[in-house]
Amino acid sequence: MLPILFQDEHLVAIHKPAGLLVHRSELDRHETRFAVQLLRDQLGRHVYPAHRLDRGTSGVLLFALDRDTARALGAQFEGQQVLKTYLAVVRGHPPEAGHIDHPLSRRRDDKEWVGEKSSDEAQPAVTDFRRLAVCELPHQVDRYPTSRYALLELTPHTGRRHQIRRHLKHIAHPIIGDSTFGKGRHNRLFQELFDCHRMLLACARLQLTHPHTSQPLDLVAPPDGEFAALLDALHWSEALPAALAGRAPSESPLP
């Protein structure tokens, strides 16, 4: 059963596990499990994904339950009216905060139709980040005797494919566990030390407007599984903002 974060007659949001495809892909033609199919079978009705998460990315995945709602959600995502918050563990110690404004060329599926008006020119892509925690492990991976890592909170303001992964590679702080844009030696260290075999990227929060009630929706998927275990192992759990950790903000002390 897929964990349901929110559901009404128009929408359903799940916590997608890492390793699960959203829908059938030519890149993984032998895969037989997809979030769309599993959720359809779980609810007994058609579902329409409002956005996509990479196979290795976990976190909030939102679906519409009818075509009109799907169109309305699509307009919010296209209009950059949905606030997305991600968590990632990266190599190195990035600045405390940063703004990545780096256009990205279009990445297509193998069988994606390309029309006359389609372009492969780089498209604007913007991601903001802030550093939540850092560590230095006594293990040599590159030429230094120790290895540095950091936990980041990221806000992508555009929706290019693999945007966060490509932006973090661009600033030389790739995501741990990313086999495409990351570094194999660092990925293997986390497998050996922490038994962590997933990409450490998660969509922790989506904030949007309900397309029918106009009420704000705040959908949160705190890290779980291997991601949560790693945060505990590195003593980073308390570095998570209260909202992303699924806990209420601490009250101010009484005078």
Q: Active-site positions?
A: 54
Look at the alpha carbons of 31, 35, 39, 40 in this order and tell me if their dihedral is positive or negative.
negative
Look at the alpha carbons of 34, 85, 170, 176 in this order and tell me if their dihedral is positive or negative.
negative
| Contact between 65 and 48 (Cβ < 8 Å) | yes
3-state secondary structure of 29: coil
| Contact between 97 and 131 (Cβ < 8 Å) | yes
| Contact between 85 and 149 (Cβ < 8 Å) | no
C-beta neighbour count of 21 within 10 angstroms: 20
**Considering just the CA atoms, what is the radius of gyration of the chain in Å?**
19
C-beta neighbour count of 102 within 10 angstroms: 15
**Side chain identity at residue 185, one-letter code:** R
Virtual torsion, Cα 239, 6, 214, 45, nearest 10 deg: 150
